[in-house]
Chain A
């Protein structure tokens, strides 16, 4: 369902309108939190004001918990969500440089803009510095490129990197944050010499902390099964479908489509790559059953108007692929009935042009069709089209659409 814009539920033309709206919320909260003061921000490093830590980690834990539950319930499809890619050394180096920038400048880019807007002259100078820094990066880009684009580990998750489950990591992070809130409050009180009477007048944060921890503990005990999609089908329905007729497409139909060079079918070869390279149907692409759910094939399967036909030598690898795809909620997927074996036996063994009139009309037209198809295949009528079709199909295949490019 969500994210709403990449999934096409909200018109993408409204994308920028929502950016503006979210930005207003972002700026409002930062200013309200007091992030327009460098002195206040830098306080986090000297113990006199931990507002940065409080706002930052509360926001992080809130959003993380929300995303965790939304994705578990199948409301938020993580395949469409931008997950910051991990370029190992670049990420660490960037953080170290920004750490220096933070201590020296007292702002970060977001808070710097907020402070400049409310009239802080030092923040305006900070932003000018930021422009210069970005220009410097651009100027020496070639020298930086190897570290900037090196050690790419993918869009990986920290709990995978640590070998933890998502739920355990989230719970640990929340508990650490709550402990950090408590300890830093004590440090701040000591440094500012706050009297015990004043401390007593503060609101208690026991209840919200408790709620978050309980919610994450519940998450720990939820069954592992994560649904990637709210439309995900149930196994019994799938079994019924795979035994019925609706999941299959006939060899005749596919031959006809190939012969006429139409492209409302996407032919997907589910065999191993070696077999695919030796021979496959014209225009087919090679996706094994275990690769079906990879993110890069999503745009291909999301072309709902085109029928996706899985085929192998027989039906079994195609059936596996079909089950995987249908389970994930992909529509318009089919299995080539009987696979390549049936197709060829029909084309090359049973396709002698019949000279007898003993056949009924239906059989005769069938036989004629196969005969013509055979001629077509043998005369290489496909070869010209093949290049052409491959190119048309390649297009969605290679553009690994990550729906949004992110960064800050």
Chain B
């Protein structure tokens, strides 16, 4: 166990570096980091091109029908970079392998079910929160936005409140 742990970067150093990337993002582009925005662009583009009649009715898909291509956005390129960076890091540390990460007391099927449900809720919640843990909570904290800090406290607060009821999943 301890040998695997030591392969990871010191968390405070990682945090400092992440903070520097975030700061650089603000200094260069005037905006923070984010991950769920790109997922939204993927959904908007896919749905609107597959079923234009459906998409035209909803203001949610309006961005697809403007001149700006949602797939050419800042957040999409950021996530393309995120994928490259993660792959690079995983390859260098020799951590690229197929696996299913789960708690010791659940089956793979249960894990997949909750991963899907968790993803669904995160996708939904990130719309209300106007960003996820990175775009709303972390970036919001960096600029001290009230909305971002509220979202951050709500994410972690809820997590701790309900952790007990979901403990079987993880411990």
- Identify the A interface with B (CB < 8 A): 2-6, 10, 15-16, 18-34, 36-39, 42-46, 48, 51, 54-64, 66-67, 70, 75-76, 78, 80-88, 90-115, 117-123, 125-139, 141-142, 144-145, 147-148, 153, 155-161, 166, 169-170, 173, 181, 203, 205, 208, 403-404, 406-408
A–B pairs, 6, beta carbons within 8 Å: A39-B170, A58-B18, A83-B143, A100-B158, A105-B121, A133-B122
Shortest distance from the beta carbon of A195 to any chain B beta carbon, whole Å: 12
Is there an interface contact between B145 and A3, defined as CB atoms closer than 8 Å?
no
Residues of chain A lying within 8 A (CB to CB) of residue B114: 104-106
Shortest distance from the beta carbon of B52 to any chain A beta carbon, whole Å: 14
Residues of chain B lying within 8 A (CB to CB) of residue A109: 35-36, 39, 122-123, 126, 132-134
Report the Cα distance A243→B29, complex, angstroms. Answer: 39
Residues of chain B lying within 8 A (CB to CB) of residue A64: 141-144
Is there an interface contact between B18 and A408, defined as CB atoms closer than 8 Å?
no
B74 — nearest CB in chain A belongs to which residue? A19
Report the Cα distance A196→B55, complex, angstroms. Answer: 61
Residues of chain B lying within 8 A (CB to CB) of residue A81: 26, 30-31, 143
B34 — nearest CB in chain A belongs to which residue? A408
Is there an interface contact between B82 and A113, defined as CB atoms closer than 8 Å?
yes
CB-contact partner of A158 in B30, B93, B146, under 8 A: B146
CB-contact partner of B59 in A26, A34, A121, A141, under 8 A: A141
CB-contact partner of A105 in B93, B117, B143, B167, under 8 A: B117
Report the Cα distance A157→B158, complex, angstroms. Answer: 23
Shortest distance from the beta carbon of A125 to any chain B beta carbon, whole Å: 4
Report the Cα distance A131→B121, complex, angstroms. Answer: 10
Is there an interface contact between A23 and B84, defined as CB atoms closer than 8 Å?
yes
Report the Cα distance A128→B171, complex, angstroms. Answer: 25
Instruction: Tell whether B49 is near chain A: CB-to-CB under 8 Å.
Output: no
Is there an interface contact between A157 and B144, defined as CB atoms closer than 8 Å?
yes
- Docked complex: B125-160 residues within 8 A CB-CB of A: 125-160
Given contacts A118-B87, A135-B47, whether A91 and B130 have CB atoms under 8 Å apart is: yes
Is there an interface contact between B43 and A131, defined as CB atoms closer than 8 Å?
yes
Judged by DSSP, the binding face of A is helix
Is there an interface contact between B39 and A95, defined as CB atoms closer than 8 Å?
no
Is there an interface contact between B162 and A63, defined as CB atoms closer than 8 Å?
no
- Identify the B interface with A (CB < 8 A): 8-12, 14-37, 39-40, 42-44, 47, 58-61, 72, 74-75, 77-90, 93, 95-103, 111-112, 114-163, 166-167, 169-171
CB-contact partner of A26 in B18, B31, B74, B153, under 8 A: B18
Given contacts A51-B11, A85-B130, A94-B125, whether A23 and B146 have CB atoms under 8 Å apart is: no
Besides A66-B23, A129-B121, A406-B139, 9 more A-B contacts (Cβ < 8 Å) are A20-B80, A38-B115, A45-B163, A84-B147, A94-B127, A95-B155, A100-B158, A128-B119, A408-B126
Most A CB contacts (10 A, CB to CB) among B60, B82, B139 go to B82
CB-contact partner of A97 in B124, B152, B171, under 8 A: B124
Residues of chain A lying within 8 A (CB to CB) of residue B111: 122
Report the Cα distance A134→B15, complex, angstroms. Answer: 29
Residues of chain B lying within 8 A (CB to CB) of residue A126: 115-116, 118-119, 122
CB-contact partner of B43 in A78, A91, A123, A138, under 8 A: A138
Report the Cα distance A131→B32, complex, angstroms. Answer: 22
Shortest distance from the beta carbon of A75 to any chain B beta carbon, whole Å: 8
Residues of chain A lying within 8 A (CB to CB) of residue B74: 15-16, 19, 404
Is there an interface contact between B130 and A104, defined as CB atoms closer than 8 Å?
no
Residues of chain B lying within 8 A (CB to CB) of residue A106: 101, 114-115, 118, 169-170
CB-contact partner of A36 in B44, B90, B146, B171, under 8 A: B90
Shortest distance from the beta carbon of A87 to any chain B beta carbon, whole Å: 7
A-B pairs with lowest CB-CB distance, top 4 = A408-B135, A105-B118, A23-B81, A95-B154
CB-contact partner of B145 in A83, A96, A114, under 8 A: A83
Is there an interface contact between B47 and A27, defined as CB atoms closer than 8 Å?
no
Shortest distance from the beta carbon of A136 to any chain B beta carbon, whole Å: 6
